[in-house]
Structure 1
Amino acid sequence: MRIAFFSTQPYDRLFFEQENTSGEFDYQFFETHLGPHIVEIVQDVDAVCVFVNDKVNREVIQTLAGKGVRIIALRCAGFNNVDLNAAKEFGLSVCRVPAYSPEAVAEHTMAMLLTLNRKTHKAYNRVREQNFSLNGLLGFNLYGKTIGVVGTGKIGKAFCKIAQGFGCAVLAFDPYQDDELKDRGVTYVGLDELYGESDIVSLHCPLTPENKHLISSDSLGKMKDGVTLVNTSRGGLIDTLAVIDALKSRKIAGLAIDVYEQEEKLFFKDLSGTIIEDDTIQRLMSFPNVLITAHQAFFTDEALTQIARITLRNLQDIEAGLAPVIPQAQLC
């Protein structure tokens, strides 16, 4: 099978080549993201393999179908960047990797929360400059705090368990409640109650048209003053301008994000020698109580191995007429 990879980084090549031991797959790697601007470059392949910031809209899908592409393989869990209705219309199968290593993202979420709270990133830089003062580094105990987890799929579930290990009370919201979590003492509540009772709110849900800007001026108004907000899911869940206003008013005491609404123009690139024209991200980075990582939560050896392995297995299953892991069953 011939596959064209987009948004390719050196580590993508490494892990996918390691999993192609039989030589069954023929790879083409492109550093650019897939979108209408570049789709014509696709030639003589059976599948395209895309990542979080590729734009697989109706125009792209129609062009791919006309070129004989049969499969869109996402090497990620989210699929909000793919027009599933268009894929169905033009007969393309769609597969994804819903559970490559939920612990990787959950652990990074807790790492960001701890770093933001205890300001270890600032302490590290201070000590390297021989500044051993503790002024400005005050944090709070996680023990005894209430963490609200929005979305208890595999990643959210793993984060709930980690939070409980720190002695936190965990409230959760999800349309589908997890019996194991309830048995462990996680309390499912409505969103309004979760917002109102949580000291920390952590987002672990996919981005859909229904929950775009889930965190808005309205939902922020329902939260405690001095809430800490963490997002390692999808940037579009947060109305960034509303969050900036909440940071300025001190409604939000701390913000940790691994994702950003306009990240496709920034993340996975070295822009250290350029002028960033995105005033919103620049404003966010100016706050001392904001911590940003560049969509790094998934980035572990175990996760990348699973991503490559499951993506290729999905492609094999589609070729064999078996049902792969897919966003919507009717697509394959």
Structure 2
Amino acid sequence: MENSYEIMKVVAYSIKEFEKEFLARANKKQHDITLISNPLSLETAMYAEGKEAVIVFTNDDVSEAVINKLADLGIKYIATRSLETDHIDRKAAGLRKIKLANVPSFSPQSIAEYAVMLALSLSRKIVPTVNSSREFDFRIDQHIGFSFFGKTVGIIGLGHVGQATAAIYKGLGCKVISYDIKYPEFLNDIETRDLDQLLNESDIISLHVPLKSDTRHLINNQSLSKMKDGVMLINTCSGELIKTSELLKALKSRKIAYLGLDGYEFEKSLFFTDHRKDENKDAILEELISYPNVIISPHQAFLTKEALQEIANLTIKNLDNWHAGKCSGKACVCYDGCKKALTNL
């Protein structure tokens, strides 16, 4: 039976048209949620007046100044529709007693499939082939690729997505090795290496780690120098895992022969919006895109119907728990480190 009363008043920022049906299906008219397309900022924080919670995404400004304004308006909860929380000033939220929650895991297969799709597309030069075919140029001379069978794939990060990615590569007949500080020993028949060994042995390297202080610019001159010449690098995580200026040097020298990115170090003001008419475009990104052996997409590895519904379901579950006075369990990303889940969560 649907509730005939308001449970929680919420405003959701940066809502895309395609998200609405998934949130509506998950919410079932339970919470009073206002959906707006504007990103959260100091200017748009006013839409949170009279609400208890805000729902945000990775491109929203959830800095200290914005959090203080939200707190002044009475906001008690912030739920992000993402695994990542680096866009939120968690300390500022903690000081203002605002509880935080993320989506700790959702459809890892969607992201894993996308990561492998980038790799396969690069290996068989799919983008140049399609572009040539659209111009009715059906020569194949420039489209020689390589097979993945027997190649060594290095997975950095063995969380849900890393393990799902490893399983696909093993199905392709690859030798899969891994590095993860949490899993220093054998995990699910995946051979482990220290980071330097993995960089040195891998033909394909796939990144699956969260952005933290010790992973920011994980890929830099030092780590790049330890890779094989002609290596393939795939990143479906934060763009800030890679120091782009040093990555460009590795592309020019052919240290990196194939590059697939579903993120960009300086994507904050670019991704999820249309910049075709911008007079001054990001020069570094323009250079990256110009390489035929590079594929860049705007952080859409998660973008499947299955993942979108799961994100919506878990976001609404966070609201449900808060309204019931419960901890959000594994989704809790509060600054005080509260991870205590009640037994009935």
TM-score bracket for the superposition, by shorter chain length: over 0.9
Q: Is the 8 A contact 1:118 1:140 kept in 2?
A: yes
Would the aligned equivalents of 2:128 and 2:292 in 1 still touch at CA under 8 Å?
A: no
1:314 & 1:293 partners in 2: Cα distance? 29
Pair 1:78-2:84 in alignment: yes
In 1, distance between residues paired with 2:60 and 2:203? 35
Paired letter, 1:111: M
SS at match of 1:121: helix
- Aligned to 1:243, the other structure's residue is in SS state helix
Deviation of 1:272 after TM superposition, in Å, equals 2.5
Q: SS of the counterpart of 1:209?
A: coil
Alignment of 1:104 with 2:110, yes or no, is yes
2:100 is equivalent to residue 89 of structure 1? no
AA of the residue aligned to 1:70: K
Q: Which residue of 2 is the match for residue 330 of structure 1?
A: 338
Q: 1:17-56 counterparts in 2 under 5 A?
A: 17-21=24-28, 23-56=29-62
Aligned pairs for 1:1-332 within 5 A: 1-21=8-28, 23-177=29-183, 182-184=187-189, 186-324=190-328, 325-327=331-333, 329-330=337-338
Partner Cα separation in structure 1 for residue 149 and residue 35 of structure 2: 46
CA shift in 2, pair 1:122/1:251, >3 Å: same
TM-score by length of 2: 0.91
Q: 1:105: Cα distance to partner?
A: 0.4
Shift of the alpha carbon at 1:12? 1.8
Inter-partner Cα distance in structure 2 for 1:331 and 1:55: 25
Find the residue that maps to 1:49 and give its secondary structure.
strand
Contact 2:154 2:206 (8 Å CA) reproduced: yes
1:276 shift after superposition: 4.5
Q: Which amino acid aligns with 1:69?
A: I
Q: Deviations over 1:162-184 (max 9, x none)?
A: 111111111111121188x7242
Q: Which residues of structure 1 form unaligned runs of 5+?
A: none
Distance 1:54 1:12 in 2: 16
Matching residue's letter, 1:212: R
Question: How far off its partner does 1:38 sit?
Answer: 3.1
- Ranges in structure 2 where 5+ consecutive residues have no aligned partner: 1-7, 341-345
Partner secondary structure for residue 264 of structure 1:
coil
CA contact (8 A) 1:142 1:167 kept: yes
Q: How many pairs were matched up?
A: 329
**1:92–1:331 Cα contact (<8 Å) kept:** no
Identify which range, 320-329 or 250-259, moves more after superposition. Answer: 320-329
State, as a whole percentage, how many aligned pairs show the same letter.
37
TM-score if structure 1 supplies the norm length?
0.94
SS of 1:172's equivalent in the other structure is strand
In 2, Cα distance between equivalents of 1:88 and 1:57 = 12
